[in-house]
Amino acid sequence: MMVIGLVLAPVAVNMAMGKTGDGAAVLVPERTALFISMLSLAVTVLVSLKGRGMLRLIPILCGITAGYLVSLLQTIPTPVMGGIMLLLFGAIMVVGLNSLVKAGEDLMEPRNMCIVSLVLVFGIGGMVFSAGDFSIKGIGLSGILGVLLNLVLPRSRRPAA
């Protein structure tokens, strides 16, 4: 049984990388294939660890389902996904600003204005931070910037109203 697993291991690796079992042809771009295969693996492992009794039979089905779901989403044209992402991230921004307003935060206070404006400009403007092979941009960079500014900038000395 172990020998069969060892013989099939290269086939599994090739398939996870988007190639045919023998690695002769590329069926799916490697990055896409690795994303789908790692997502399927993660779902399968989580369900198998959390599953009890007969539920232990479900991980394979969950892994396959997750892979097919991601594959289905990949069939949506890039411009359509771009439009959806614009609305999604814009709505997230509005919800965040609304939360600040409802919490009674004064967005005209210099500290708050600095944080909010820099986060928005870095995220929307496409700012990129690179150091060697490492690079971060967009929402990731904006989120990190917001957390750092919140920690570094001094808080107002005025008592909250």
pLDDT at 1 over 50: no
Measured CA to CA, the distance from residue 121 to residue 113 in angstroms comes to: 12
| Nearest-angstrom CA–CA distance, 82 and 69 | 19
Q: Does the pLDDT value for residue 3 go beyond 50?
A: no
Return the biggest CA–CA distance within the chain: 72
Question: Which CA distances in Å does 98 have to 16, 34, 74, 105, 149?
Answer: 43, 38, 32, 10, 20
Token pair of 49, please?
A: 């660890």
For 13-40, how does the pLDDT look when each residue is reduced to its tens digit (9 = 90+)?
888 888 887 888 888 888 888 888 888 7
Highest-pLDDT range among 62-66, 76-80, 122-126: 122-126
Mean pLDDT value of segment 37-51: 75
Give the tens place of pLDDT for each residue, 101-117: 898 888 888 888 888 88
Question: Which of 72 and 160 is assigned the larger pLDDT?
Answer: 72
Does residue 55 surpass a pLDDT of 50? yes
Residues 6+ positions from 106 with CB-CB distance below 8 Å: 112
Instruction: Say yes or no to pLDDT of 148 above 90.
Output: yes
Residue 52: band (very low, low, confident or very high) from pLDDT cuts 50, 70, 90: low
